[in-house]
Amino acid sequence: QLQKDLEEVKELLTNATRKRVRDVLVAEKHKLELEIKNQPLPKPKDVAEEEKSSLGGYTVKINNYGWDQSDKFVKIYISLSGVQKLPAENVQVNFTERSFDLLVKNLNGKNYTMTFNNLLKPISVEGSSRKIKTDMVLVMCKKKREEKWDCLTQVEKESKEKEKAAYDTADPSEGLMNILKKMYAEGDDEMKRTINKAWVESREKQYKGDIPMDI
């Protein structure tokens, strides 16, 4: 409304010839311009609400992924059947220096999310990107420094270190036993049979005196 008033005042100014009328119109013009300038910007919709309304169906958290790395990038592969058929804007990735989150909207009536926090090392936000391939999203995290990553997140690193510490005991045979116990507990039937066989053979050799140490 104010914009229309301003346009009309400008039009009147071009036709006004008397000084007093022109002064009044100029004053009114400045007043309107000031009002327009100070008008509050229309409030953007709450982003979360907007996303909520645009997200149909329900949201599924992605837990399965594969990853590898080159000198410059850490690459995360996420399998999503039919993702290549979506509009590009439906596949969004937000990066920070130590995290990223993926949102895939309205894929077969569902939304998919994946979040990685506390990445092992800092990444370049500007250099990172995502690629949509057949039945797959590839997230490319650009390394800030060209160095090898042992794992993806700080949590994974701490978990590995704790596991390693459990096996690094003073007695090497005890460390070996811990590893065998873990393999046995987590292995399939074939793995259990193999370990049992190796154990029996080891005990037999011991009894024959081939192995002096007691495992």
Whether residue 53 is predicted with pLDDT greater than 50 in this model: the reply is: no
Of 29-43, 92-106, 152-166, 200-214, minimum mean pLDDT range: 200-214
- Structure confidence at residue 90 (pLDDT): 94
Of 42-51, 70-79, 88-97, 173-182, minimum mean pLDDT range: 42-51
| pTM for the full predicted model | 0.52
Query: 90 with 111: CB under 8 angstroms?
Result: no
CATH code of 59-143, in short, is 2.60.40.790
Mean pLDDT of 161-178: 65
- Structure confidence at residue 141 (pLDDT): 96
Query: 141 with 128: CB under 8 angstroms?
Result: yes
Residue predicted with more confidence, 45 or 105: 105
Nearest to 184 by CA among 169, 196, 197, 201: 196
Looking at domain 1-38, its CATH class is few secondary structures
Mean pLDDT of the chain, nearest integer: 80
118: tokens are 């506390």
Whether residue 95 is predicted with pLDDT greater than 80 in this model: the reply is: yes
Quickly tell me which residue has 């399998």 as its tokens. 79
- Structure confidence at residue 170 (pLDDT): 54
- Structure confidence at residue 136 (pLDDT): 95
The backbone region for 76, taken as left when phi is positive above 0, alpha when psi lies in -120 to 50, beta otherwise, is beta
Q: How confident is the model at residue 42 (pLDDT cuts 50, 70, 90)?
A: low
Domain ranges of the chain: 1-38, 59-143, 154-207
Query: What distance in Å separates the CA atoms of residue 63 and residue 112, rounded to the nearest whole number?
Result: 10
Query: What distance in Å separates the CA atoms of residue 123 and residue 127, rounded to the nearest whole number?
Result: 8
